[in-house]
Amino acid sequence: MVKGVMAILWPITYPIAKMLDKVLHEDDDKDGAFDRGEISALVRIQYEERIANKRQRKIERMDSTKRKSFSNFPHPKHRPPGLENAIKTAKTELSTRESIHVDEVMMVEGALQMKTKTAYDVFTPIHRMFAVPDNLILNEDNVVDIYSSGYSRIPVYEKDSLKSKSQAAIKGILNSKHLIVVNMNEDRPLSTMPLLIPPCVSPKMNLVELVNLFQTGRYGHFALVCARPQIGTEALKEGKAVPCAAGVMGIITLEDVLEELLQEEIFDENDQMEKEAERIALWVGRQWRRKRKVGTGSTGSVVVEAVQANATSESASLLGTSENSQEHSGLLGSMYQSLGFQRGGS
């Protein structure tokens, strides 16, 4: 019957099929290959399907185990003492037997996006960059400031008398571990220190090419993002600062690229302060919303409670151990200033 219907409708369906093939068919995809987006979606679908199937099998297996065990021992007093613990242990083992972890899925998705993402998507803008001038004197205060920044590689720029706040004329990269051999009593200028010469890359360079560039190890896993990289590269090779014509936009490091691959932030020992500040901010936000919901308390009282609750923990360092420069540092310091509080006051 179906073949008879197909034969009757053939004069109508055949021209429509030919027209659709001509308009919608992709001739360049005859081999049936998947693109990056489709492969990423397939990995995500496979992961979610396996998790759902494992969860369903786990529930069915646990139900059957309970039925068999409790049918043999209907009364709780007659059940073996370790039966409940054995069921919980089996449930935990089943939940951890995942063939694909969610981190693996995220890394596969990140790896498939490395070719499509560029330096412009992950670079750090120049106004957020920590840099030091080349005429800086390496005394005790300045060395402490450099180490306190938490960065291992710091751009060194040539100070412009006309644009005192501009940091675009970068001459090189200072490796902070070289400051270990500096005698801080000699007032040595920073210009006498050895500097790494970074490459200038285009904002259109994809992340795969950046990884290959950083793998060479010649540039200290650090690069400058310039609108016209050829001009900046030639100036740095001649020992000069990057000119304004190069159009320095910012910097990019190997850590920035790896974060895109992992799809997560990478925190090192110098980022603990940032994580602690975020934790306190979330705690203050929850307390403020709770008090606002019940109609009691104020923002100032919530901030005071946050200080009292974290005074004995590591987060107390956010308030600063120094009575001068670090009194209003960090998140809570800005809160105190906006609310008119003083440390130790009411």
Model confidence at 25, pLDDT cuts 50, 70, 90, reads low
- The verdict on domain 119-262 having CATH code 3.90.550.10 is no
pLDDT at 12 exceeding the cut of 90: yes
One-letter identity of residue 95 = S
If you average pLDDT over every residue of the chain, what do you get? 75
- Spatial distance between the Cα atoms of 283 and 273, rounded to a whole number of angstroms: 15
- Spatial distance between the Cα atoms of 204 and 118, rounded to a whole number of angstroms: 5
pLDDT at 108 exceeding the cut of 50: yes
Model confidence at 23, pLDDT cuts 50, 70, 90, reads confident
Phi, psi of 17 (to 5 degrees): -65, -40
Digit-coded pLDDT (tens) for 126-154: 988 899 998 899 998 898 888 888 888 89
Digit-coded pLDDT (tens) for 188-229: 999 889 899 999 999 999 999 999 998 887 777 899 999 999
Model confidence at 66, pLDDT cuts 50, 70, 90, reads low
Q: Element (H or E) spanning 278, and its range?
A: helix 272-294
pLDDT at 299 exceeding the cut of 50: no
Model confidence at 331, pLDDT cuts 50, 70, 90, reads very low
Strands (E), 151-215: 153-157, 170-175, 188-189, 200-201
- Spatial distance between the Cα atoms of 120 and 249, rounded to a whole number of angstroms: 9
pLDDT at 60 exceeding the cut of 70: yes
Q: In this structure, how many other beta carbons lie within 10 angstroms of the beta carbon of residue 4?
A: 8
Roughly what angle, to the nearest 10 degrees, separates helices 83-96 and 36-72?
170
